[in-house]
Amino acid sequence: MPLKTALAFLFIVASGIPISTLWAGEAQIYFKNSPPLAHLRPFSDPATLSLLVTAADGRPVTQGWLEIRLDAPKPSRFFSTDFPLVEGTRLLEMRLPLREGRAEWKYLFPIRGEYEISVDFVTAQGKQATRTFSLQVKEHQNKWTFLGIFTLALFATGVVAGRIFTRASRGAKDKVAACLALSFVCSGSSAALAAQETHKQEYSGWLEVDPATVGKPARVHWQLSGNGSGARLPAALTVTITHLEKSKIVFAAERLWVAGEFSMDFHFSDGANYRVLASAEIPGHRPVRTERYLSVTGVEPPVAAMLPALFFFVGVIAVGLGVGRWSRTLTPPSKEER
């Protein structure tokens, strides 16, 4: 190493200038998911999502945070997903500390489509790097199979009905057609009680979840409530959100080293009962475990999300009716009909 370069390096170290500023502008962010995209399905099993931040020399960054935002797929052009109110919304927003250059969490994707993950790498000097990743989650194959079978069944029903109606009287045709039209009037209602159960706090943990409603994120906030400087003690925090009816983990982040506080915005995708559990390990102290139960308020899906599918199914039956009537004209009339 040249003498001038060595002296400059010693000057930087002696002056206390953060070394991170030397590589921050060239920091790289990498994304990995498990299982692979080909095996990801909505509301099946939680996926493990990992982010890695490296310096210019490829070594993992040891200090800093990642500001993460997860956006749901945009509304479908025709068939809506199982949760129409989730489409095109912000699902998750949080800030995770880096541990050996990595940040990792588990998430259960609620619907099919292309998700977008926006990541900002932040240090004490401010934002250093930004990346956006896309994630495609395919629908369950059995749902498409069921849709195909159901469509064929509707078409066959239309064909059979078309042949029957062709032999009926005009008045009978009108009555049966009216009954068919009424049979495709869909109605439904969904309701959920918005309530939160208070839970006796253990040790010095404090957990709060805002009243949650499908269609918008709710604030999840955990904090140590110790006396004096105890509330700022470093802790390895594990946060888990469980869908109680399905017995599925929809979110989990393990051993996040936080300074006595953690918060995030989380979108509960359906009106159901959930449990939010926060467990912290504090060096030199007993573990802290705090949980909260809540019922998410369900919201009726918009009519615009149901109309395309309704028109499609009615159209399939109408085509079947036309084919049935046409096939009837090709069949010679029986003696009774004459």
* Alpha helices for 168-238 (secondary structure H): 170-183
Residues of the chain with CATH 2.60.40.1940: 18-137
Decide: 64 and 20 in contact? Cβ < 8 Å.
yes
- What angle, rounded to 10 degrees, do the helices at 170-183 and 141-167 form? 160
* DSSP 8-state assignment for residue 91: E
**pLDDT for residue 82 is more than 80:** no
Q: How confident is the model at residue 65 (pLDDT cuts 50, 70, 90)?
A: very high
Q: Which of 115, 107, 111 is nearest to 139 (CA)?
A: 111
**pLDDT for residue 128 is more than 70:** yes
According to the model, what pLDDT value does residue 207 have? 93
Structure tokens given for 168: 């009926």
Q: How confident is the model at residue 72 (pLDDT cuts 50, 70, 90)?
A: very high
For 304-319, what is the mean pLDDT?
64
Q: How confident is the model at residue 300 (pLDDT cuts 50, 70, 90)?
A: confident
Q: How confident is the model at residue 7 (pLDDT cuts 50, 70, 90)?
A: very low
Q: What is the CATH number of domain 195-295?
A: 2.60.40.10
Q: Which of 315, 307, 240, 321 is nearest to 277 (CA)?
A: 240
Rounded to whole angstroms, how far apart are CA atoms 112 and 138? Answer: 5
Residues of the chain with CATH 2.60.40.10: 195-295
Cis peptide before 301 (omega within 30 of 0): no
> What percent of the chain has pLDDT above 70?
64
According to the model, what pLDDT value does residue 309 have? 63
Q: How far is CA 150 from the centre of its chain?
A: 27
Q: How confident is the model at residue 145 (pLDDT cuts 50, 70, 90)?
A: low
According to the model, what pLDDT value does residue 159 have? 65
According to the model, what pLDDT value does residue 78 have? 66
Decide: 290 and 278 in contact? Cβ < 8 Å.
yes
State pLDDT tens for residues 146-188.
Answer: 566 766 776 677 667 766 766 544 444 444 444 444 344 333 3
For 27-53, what is the mean pLDDT?
92
Q: What are the counts of helices (DSSP H) followed by strands (DSSP E) for the chain?
A: 5, 15
State pLDDT tens for residues 278-293.
Answer: 999 988 788 889 999 9
For 218-243, what is the mean pLDDT?
82
According to the model, what pLDDT value does residue 75 have? 84
According to the model, what pLDDT value does residue 155 have? 63
**Main-chain phi, psi angles of 230, to 5 degrees:** -60, -30
CATH topology (fold) of 18-137: Immunoglobulin-like (2.60.40)
| Amino acid, single-letter form, for residue 190 | S
Residue 38: which residues within 8 A CB-CB, separation 6 or more?
Answer: 138
- What angle, rounded to 10 degrees, do the helices at 303-330 and 141-167 form? 50
Q: Is 284 exposed, middle or buried (0-12, 13-18, 19+ CB in 10 A)?
A: exposed
Decide: 66 and 96 in contact? Cβ < 8 Å.
yes
According to the model, what pLDDT value does residue 186 have? 37
Helix (H, G, I), strand (E, B) or coil at 215: coil
> What percent of the chain has pLDDT above 90?
42
Helix (H, G, I), strand (E, B) or coil at 47: strand
Rounded to whole angstroms, how far apart are CA atoms 189 and 338? Answer: 50
According to the model, what pLDDT value does residue 2 have? 47
For 64-70, what is the mean pLDDT?
96
Q: Match 């990992």 to its residue by tokens.
A: 50
For 75-80, what is the mean pLDDT?
71
Q: Which of 313, 302, 15 is nearest to 151 (CA)?
A: 313
According to the model, what pLDDT value does residue 239 have? 97
**Higher local confidence (pLDDT), 154 or 295:** 295
How far CA 209 is from CA of 96, 130, 155, 300, in Å, comes to 19, 29, 48, 23
Rounded to whole angstroms, how far apart are CA atoms 48 and 252? Answer: 9
Strands 218-224 and 205-209: antiparallel
- Angle made by CA atoms 18, 25, 60, in degrees to the nearest 5: 70
According to the model, what pLDDT value does residue 229 have? 47
Rounded to whole angstroms, how far apart are CA atoms 329 and 105? Answer: 64
**pLDDT for residue 52 is more than 60:** yes
* Alpha helices for 84-213 (secondary structure H): 141-167, 170-183
Lowest mean pLDDT among 122-131, 133-142, 264-273: 133-142
Decide: 109 and 47 in contact? Cβ < 8 Å.
yes
Lowest mean pLDDT among 6-10, 78-82, 101-105, 109-113: 6-10
For 269-280, what is the mean pLDDT?
94
According to the model, what pLDDT value does residue 17 have? 36
For 183-212, what is the mean pLDDT?
52
Q: Which of 278, 284, 274 is nearest to 261 (CA)?
A: 278
pTM of the model: 0.70
For 58-79, what is the mean pLDDT?
88
